[in-house]
Structure 1
Amino acid sequence: MTKRPWWKRILLGAAWVSLAVLGGTAAVVLLFRFVPVPTSALMIERRIGALVEGRPYEVRHAWVPLERIAPSMGAAVIAAEDQNFPDHFGFDWQAIEKALEHNEHSRRKRGASTLSQQTAKNLFLWERRSWVRKGFEAYLTLMLELGWSKRRILEVYLNSVEFGDGVFGVEAASRRFFGKPARALGPSEAALLAAVLPNPRKYRADAPSAYVRARQEWILNQMRNLGGGQVVKALG
Structure 2
Amino acid sequence: MPAQPALRNKTPTRSGLLRSLVLVLGLGFALVWSFAVLMLLVVRWIDPPTTAVHIERRLQAWIHHTPYHERYRFVPLNQISPNLQHAVVAAEDARFYQHHGFDWHQIQIDAEDDMEGGRMRGASTITQQLVKNLLLGTSRSIFRKGAEFTLVPVAELILGKQRILELYLNVIEWGPGIYGADAACRTYDRTAPRNVGREQAARLAAILPAPLKRRPDRMNRYSAVILERMREMGW
Q: Same fold (TM over 0.5)?
A: yes
Q: Supply the distance in 1 between the matched residues of 2:166 and 2:221 (Cα, whole angstroms).
A: 26
What is the match of residue 216 of structure 1?
223
| Cross-structure match for 2:170 | 159
Query: Is 1:227–2:223 an aligned residue pair?
Result: no
User: Once the 2 structures are TM-superposed, how far is the Cα of residue 25 of structure 1 from its aligned partner?
Assistant: 2.2
1:173 aligns with 2:184: yes
Whether contact under 8 Å (2:130, 2:164) holds in the other structure is: yes
Q: CA 1:101 to 1:22, structure 2 compared with 1: closer, same or farther past 3 Å?
A: same
Q: Pairwise mapping of residues 141-160 of structure 1 onto structure 2 (< 5 A)?
A: 141-160=152-171
Aligned length: 220
Q: Which structure 1 residue ranges, 5 or more long, are not aligned?
A: 229-236
Q: Does 1:31 align with 2:46?
A: no
Q: Deviations over 1:23-76 (max 9, x none)?
A: 322221111001111111111111111111111101111100101000111101
Give the match for residue 233 of structure 1: none
Please say if residues 194 and 216 of structure 1, whose CA atoms lie closer than 8 Å, have aligned partners that are also in contact. Answer: yes
Q: Which runs of 5+ in 2 are unaligned?
A: 1-11
Q: CA deviation at 1:101?
A: 2.6
Q: Name the SS for the 1:179 alignment partner.
A: coil
SS of alignment partner, residue 95 of structure 1: helix
- TM value normalised by structure 2: 0.85
Percent of aligned pairs sharing the same letter: 40
Name the Cα RMSD after superposition: 2.1
Name whichever of 59-68 and 45-54 sits farther off.
45-54
Mapped to 2, the partners of 1:106 and 1:47 lie a distance apart of 39
Instruction: Look up the match of 2:110.
Output: 99
Over residues 92-118 of structure 1, what are the superposed CA-to-partner deviations in whole Å (9 max), with x where a residue is unaligned? 011111222333455854311000000
2:76 alignment partner in structure 1 = 65
Distance 1:104 1:10 in 2: 36
- TM-score scaled by length of structure 1: 0.85
CA distance in 2, matches of 1:148, 1:75: 19
Judging changes above 3 Å, is the alpha-carbon distance between structure 1 residues 10 and 215 closer, same or farther for their aligned structure 2 residues?
Answer: closer
Per the alignment, residue 6 of structure 2 pairs with none
Pick the aligned partner of 1:114 from 96, 110, 125. 125
Partner of 2:139: 128
Residues 154-201 of structure 1, C-alpha deviation per residue, up to 9 Å, x if partnerless? 000000111111111010000000011101111111110100111111
Instruction: Say which one has the larger Rg.
Output: 2
Are the equivalent residues in 1 in contact too, given 2:96–2:125 (CA < 8 A)?
yes
* Equivalent pair of 2:114/2:120 in contact (CA under 8 Å): yes
Give 1:36's aligned amino acid: D
Question: Partners in 2 of 1:121 and 1:159 — Cα distance?
Answer: 14
